[in-house]
Every structure is written in C-alpha cells, then in structure tokens.
Amino acid sequence: MKKLTMVQAISDALRTALATDPTVVVLGEDVGKNGGVFRATEGLWQEFGDERVIDTPLAEAGIIGTSIGMAVNGLKPVPEIQFMGFIYPAFEQIVTHAARLRTRTQGAFPATLTIRAPYGGGIRAPELHCDSTESLFVHIPGLKVVTPSTPYDAKGLLLAAIKDPDPVIFLEPMKLYRSVKQEVPDGWYEVPIGKARKVRDGEDVTLIAWGTMVPVAEAAANEWAAKGVSCDVLDLRSLYPLDEEAIIESVKKTGRVVIVHEAPKTAGLAGELTALINEHAFLYLEAPITRVTGYDAPVPMYALEDWFRPDAKRVSKAIQQVVSF
C-alpha cells in the first residue's frame, strides 16, 4: 500500500479505472497535457493517449452533453468540471438528460457517467470557485451524490461511481486535497455508495457531517471528550442515497444531534436530515436538532472566508446547546 493524499488517491483511481476498463474515458478542460487544474489527471494523457484522456473546450454544457452521448453508446465517461461554481451551465444537461436517461428509456440505455467537481472553500480561491451547492443535485431524482473525506474513501468511492449504472456527482472537497496522507490499497476496490462511515463512537451526541466538515466535527468531538461528553461522529460519504439506518441507529443511541455542513442553511441538506430523524426517531430526541452551516449568502472573498465556513468553535457551541437543553 502507498500513502497518498486525496488528490493522489483520485488520480490513482482514474489510472486504475483506465487500465482496467477500456470503456472508461476521462474528459474536461486541461485534463490532458496540463494534468488538470489540481493535477488530479497528471500523467494520464501521456499513459493512455488522447482518445482516452481528452482535452475539451471551455464549455461545461458541451462536456456533459458529450459525456451523455458517450454513455448512451456504451462508454463510461468521467468528465471533470474544474470547480463546482462552474457547473451551472451544464445543469440543464445533467437534470434534463443524464438524470432521466435510464427511466426515460426504461433501462434501454445506460447513464454510466461520473461527474467530478471540486467544491467547498478553505483554499483562498476567488468567487465562483468555492460553492457548496450539493443539495441542488441531491434533490434531483436519478442522480447519486457522493463526497469523500479521506484518501481511502476517495479512491474507493470514485471506482464505485465509475461502475455504477446511474450518473454520479462526485464532489471533491478542495480543502482536503492535500491536507493528510493515508494508506491506500493498490488496484481496484470499492467503497459502497449509500453507506456512511462511523468516524468515532460516542454515547451523548451525534455529529453528522461530510466532506471538509468531517475533520471539523472530529476536532469539536475531541474537545468535548476531554470534558466527559462523547460524540458519535458520522461521515455520510453518500448524500444520495442516504444511509438512513446508520443515521437513525446513532440518533436512537444518543438522543442529541448536531448536523454540520458548509452549504448555506436554507434548504440545505441538514433540513432533509432533520425531517428524516423526526419521522423515524422523534421520541428518542432529548433536545432539538441543531444545524451548524454556512450563511445564506454567496461565498465571500477569501478575506472573509474563515468567517463563512463553520469551524470547531461553532460546532462546539452547538454541542453545548444540545447537551444543556
């Protein structure tokens, strides 16, 4: 096993998929000769050639439209959108065509495409580069949405997405691209879509997070462990489909819930999770469910970025709130 950063693990997954399955194709702006804006595709063009790793024009709708055509004809395209804030020109292609393809054709045509998009803030990028609008895609029937928080999960989830018969939005937390290294197995392995990861066992509070907010939740859990309050930390990994069983099991154990996400609060995924918990575990709750989120405003310029993104201090305050209710 090698110790890899998350972006190296993503690159390793793409290399493994291209080497294993001749129908896999990587495409996007600068993914070829340049190796991608974050170097996730570095070296792949030299290794697999320009019929498997394809530089495209700066045209997101065209990238996704082309990928849909490839999928219909039996390929497994993995298009890269350079930043989540650039994905909106392709929204119509994703929602109207990719998401509905299998249903519309009663399964006659596959929609096996995996759309990679870096998301979230924390790297001091300009406006439009740091969006965290995952709930837009979670709301669309026909799409699956996943996001890793570790290098191991990044490779395993990406390989599972590439094999999945449905279109998968694979969100890559930019803040975690190079923040840690972890042992990652060689070759093909998969992290199942729809399964959450238990990060930490606890008895008093359930912390639910994903992507860059997982280490933030862990930091808050560490602080409260020193005070004698243990937190069950759940990394959802799969935002749709949700691992409802893992969520409800944890809530029934602790009775107190804090949901943490970087996206704005209004209509964010925390609202859906709150409804889910109320439907299945309301009588187990010892305190109102609390949300720690980004603000209902466009992501600010980098000078204000740290004020916008939830940090361990805000999560810790929320834990105080549910524990003392």
Q: Catalytic residue positions?
A: 129
Helical segments of 100-254, H only:
101-104, 134-138, 151-163, 213-225, 244-254
DSSP characters over 143-168: -EEE--SSHHHHHHHHHHHHH-SS-E
**Where is 293: in which H helix or E strand?**
strand 290-294
Query: Taking Cα atoms as reference points, which of 132, 141, 139 lies closest to residue 171?
Result: 132
DSSP characters over 255-278: S-EEEEEEEESTT-HHHHHHHHHH
Do the beta carbons of residue 250 and residue 201 sit within 8 Å? no
Virtual torsion, Cα 67, 69, 71, 72, nearest 10 deg: 170
Do the beta carbons of residue 252 and residue 200 sit within 8 Å? no
DSSP bridge partners of 291? 259
Do the beta carbons of residue 28 and residue 86 sit within 8 Å? no
Do the beta carbons of residue 296 and residue 265 sit within 8 Å? yes
Angle between helix axes 6-20 and 151-163 (nearest 10 degrees) is: 30
DSSP characters over 61-116: HHHHHHHHHHHHTT-EEEEE-S-GGG-GGGHHIIIIIITTHHHHTTTSS----EEE
